[in-house]
Every structure is written in structure tokens, then in C-alpha cells.
Chains A and B, each alone.
Chain A
Amino acid sequence: MTPRSGPTVAIVDYGMGNRRSVFKALERAGATPKLTAHARQLRAAHGLVVPGVGAFPEAMRRLGALGLVGLLRERAGEDIPVLGICLGMQLLFERSQELGTTGGLGLLPGEVTWLNPGGLRVPHIGWNEVKFVAPSPLTEGLPQRGCAFYHAHSLAARPANVKDVLGITEYGEQLATIVGRGRVFGVQFHPEKSSANGLALLERFVAVCAETAPESEALWGEMARP
């Protein structure tokens, strides 16, 4: 074991997304990141990050082929911190309308549909102000009303339950860009590419993982025992 500099955060490696950037940013945020698709490592981690850039159906197909759909649901059910980033956030919901209808992980109620920003440009690319609409451990210590993050997307999650919405971005319409329920979180923007603000948010997620770390270690110990 390496000396413990921070909680182990597993980046779910299903072959899509900017995994290396997420790895480097988590490392900078104080975590001990592991890029993995192995069930044993995903079960042992103190927190999970679901990255993602690309299309929803292909992402779900790959997660299914790796046997990770059930595992992610199981770990979320155990109250392990989960953070979905961009497409990874969209995957947390029940279904997406990208290229036909595809079922998602279903950790949060709601669906993912195309942006409809009136005359504004699609994809929505660039820095945009995110307004924090509910207190969350993910945004604790960041500017109280919100701050700018880097967005790059053409679809957006439409949470069925307004209580799951923690942050909102205005882009011709109001977009839920931070969501959370319990320890399951999602961000539509890219914290790993949002300079100091993004690293601060990731530090908060790592802190949530650290809080839960002893419990999950105990759990892992029990499960590993014959």
C-alpha cells in the first residue's frame, strides 16, 4: 500500500471519456485515484467517479458488457459517494433520448433530452455561471451563490424531482447542472477542466469520500472475509 494521502476514488473505466484528465484533477484534489473496470477494485474504493464523453447508448452498452450496471447500482445503494461527470451525470438518470431511447442506471428519477436553447448555439460550449440552489456538501466553501464552470454538451438531464437539483445553469432555458440525492452526485459541466473552481468542487467530493471511508473499509473487510 502506498502511504495514504487521500481516499481511494475509483474512476469507472468503460473505455470512454477523458479519463486521464479526471485522474489528474482528482489527484490534484487530494484523492488517490484508480482507473479501473475491475469489480473488486470498484467495491474497495471509497468513492466512484463515472466520467464520460460521447454518446449515451454506447456508454450504457459498454457498462453492460463489463457487468458494471448492477455493480454501480449496488454501490450507490450502499451509500458510497458517486460522482457522475458530463455524460456520466446523464447516465445516473432513468433514460436518455440521445439516438433513440436508452435506459440508464436509474439512480435518479428523470430523463435526458436534447438542449432547446432558443436561438443560442448547440452544443453549449464554454464557461457558464452555475447558481447553487440548495446547500450541498459538494459546493460547501465555494462562492455561496455559485460560480463559473466549463460546459460542453448537447443534451441535458431533466430531473423528475426538483429536490435532486442542487445547481442551475441558464442557457436559453434552466438546466439542472448539479444534481444529488444522498451521496449520489452529478455535474453536467467538467470540474476537471474548470480551473480553480472545478478543483475546489472535486476537493469537496474527495472530502465526502474521506468521511465515508472508514465505514466502507469495514464493509469491504466483512465482504472479503470467507
Chain B
Amino acid sequence: MHYKRVIPCLDVDRGRVVKGVGFLDLRDAGDPVELAYRYDAAGADELVFLDITATTDKRETVVELARRTADEVFIPFTIGGGVRSAADAQAVLDAGADKVSINSAALERPQLVDELAATFGSQCVVLAIDAKRHARGGWEAYAAGGRTPTGRDAVAWAREVARRGAGEILLTSMDRDGSGSGYDLELTAAVATRVALPVIASGGAGRPDDLVAALRAGADAVLCASIFHYGRHTVAEVKEHLARARIPVRASG
């Protein structure tokens, strides 16, 4: 039985976890390693750390984060935010991360996806897409943490990175992110039906029913941030809810 995954996302700024409300408004919420350890014990299937530290020397901070996490946590975790080259990816993976998530760097230089897949294997390469609904219909991929429109159609971009060797798509709806009003199910379905890769739905989870809807819409996993961070729901509650909706989930630890 292949299980659908529940993946808490921890936004990290200068080594501290902050809650993501939209992309620009942030609050402090704790030590990443301790949170990761608690999520493992609670039955989280994987973790994603998104480093949102303003660029420059962020490679050192994400490597240190990966190292400290790998010491204590024995579930897969992905690091995103500081990875712009194969050398960055190597440093983060060597420190103990299982996957790297790339976004802007791939939009600037799509060949990076091919390079990472060839060097580390597709299963290490998570392609993050920040997608925003376009007035003309469809969705546009944004770069720089949602600040810069790229003119690329998000679905076409997902197909391209799949061809280039990405292993998973982390698909964030910018319209829903931080809203708590549910995932963008049309976006999730649009990408999941057009690529053969696992899709991780992200942005907008407010209630356990939102997770059910995204998984039914074709997502293989759901990324959750605020729904867990302030104890609104536990991982166990959410998984029980999914199981009652007949979605296959691994029993909580």
C-alpha cells in the first residue's frame, strides 16, 4: 500500500522557524531541529525546510540546518532556499538532507535541473513552482519567493522540468498561500494530470478537509504549515481524518 504523504513545512529565517503568512509577513515560531524531531515522533511522513533568509551567505546556514537535523531526525527532509548550483546541492545533501528544492535558480537556468538529476538522481530533485492565477486564465510561475513574474506558464514549466529530470513538483498556489481557504484544486489537478511525477500540493491548507480535497485532486502529498505550527491540529488528527475519508496514510507514530 503506497501512502499519501503529510509534509509539514518549516520556513526558516537565520536558523529559526517562522510561520509563513503569505510570503512577506513572518512571525517567529521556534527551533527547527526540535520541531523536526517532534514532527517525526508525531507521525509526519517527511519535512520540508524552506530557508527564506535574504540571500548572500545562506549556504552555510542551510548546511548547518541539514547537519543538525540529520543528527536527530530519521525521516526524509528536503531543503530549499539556498540551492543555486550543483555545489550547493552537494553540500546540503552531504550534510544529510535527502532532497533539495529549487525554484528561482531553475527558472533562470533550466539546465540546472538536468545537472542535478544527472549528478544526484531525480529522486533528490524537488522542483518548487510558485504559481499565481493569471487574469487571462491559467497560472504564471513566479521567481524570487513570489516577487518576480516570469511570464512562464506554470503547467508548461512543470512539464519542462519533468522532461529535464526533476523527481517531484512542489506546487504552491500564491493566491491561496497563508489564506487558510484551501488548496487551489484546479491548479493541483492541472499539473497532476499533465506530469507523471508526484505532485506536492502547497498553499492554503486551513482544515483537514482541505488535505482530503487536494489528495483527491491528484496530489501525492500535501504540504502544511500553519495548520500544524500553532497546534490548531495535530498530525495524528489530520491523518485520522484522511483515513476516515479513505485516503491511505501511514499510521501516526
Contacts and interface: CB of A to CB of B under 8 A. Distances in A.
B85 interface: no
Majority-rule SS of A interface residues: mixed
A198 B250 CA distance: 14
A75 interface: no
Nearest to B121: A54
B112 interface: no
Interface string B59-72: 00000000100110
Interface in A33-87: 53-55, 87
Given A24-B96, A126-B3, A154 B220 contact: no
Q: Is chain B's binding surface mostly helix, strand, loop or mixed? A: loop
A122 B167 CA distance: 8
Which of A20, A196, A199 lies at the interface centre, i.e. has the most chain B CB atoms within 10 A of its CB?
A20
Contacts of A121: 196-198, 220
A24 B45 CA distance: 19
Contacts of B196: 121-122
A125 B123 contact: yes
A193 B76 contact: yes
B96 A20 contact: yes
Interface stretch (A145-153, A158-166, A206-214): A145-153
A126 B71 CA distance: 21
A18 interface: yes
A193 B75 contact: yes
A220 interface: no
Contacts, number: 101
Contact of B220 (A126, A194, A196): A126
Contacts of B198: 121, 123, 125-126
Nearest to B72: A24
Given A18-B98, A55-B118, A123 B123 contact: yes
A170 B67 CA distance: 33
B221 A126 contact: yes
Contact of A123 (B45, B95, B96, B167): B167
Nearest to A192: B74
B122 interface: yes
A24 B71 contact: yes
A111 B19 CA distance: 47
Contacts of B5: 126-127
Contacts of A21: 70, 74, 96, 98
A199 B67 CA distance: 19
A97 interface: no
A128 interface: yes
Nearest to A148: B250
B45 A20 contact: no
Interface string B108-129: 0000000000111111100000
A193 B98 contact: yes
Interface in A174-200: 190, 192-196, 198-199
Interface of B: 1-5, 40, 45-46, 67, 70-71, 74-76, 93-96, 98, 118-124, 167-168, 196-198, 220-221, 250-251, 253
A-B residue pairs, 10 tightest by C-beta: A152-B123, A129-B1, A20-B96, A127-B3, A127-B250, A193-B76, A54-B121, A128-B2, A123-B123, A121-B198
30 contacts: A20-B67, A21-B70, A21-B96, A25-B74, A28-B74, A53-B120, A53-B121, A54-B120, A121-B198, A122-B196, A122-B197, A124-B2, A125-B123, A126-B3, A126-B5, A126-B198, A127-B5, A128-B1, A128-B2, A129-B1, A148-B3, A150-B75, A152-B76, A152-B98, A193-B75, A193-B76, A194-B74, A194-B75, A195-B40, A195-B253
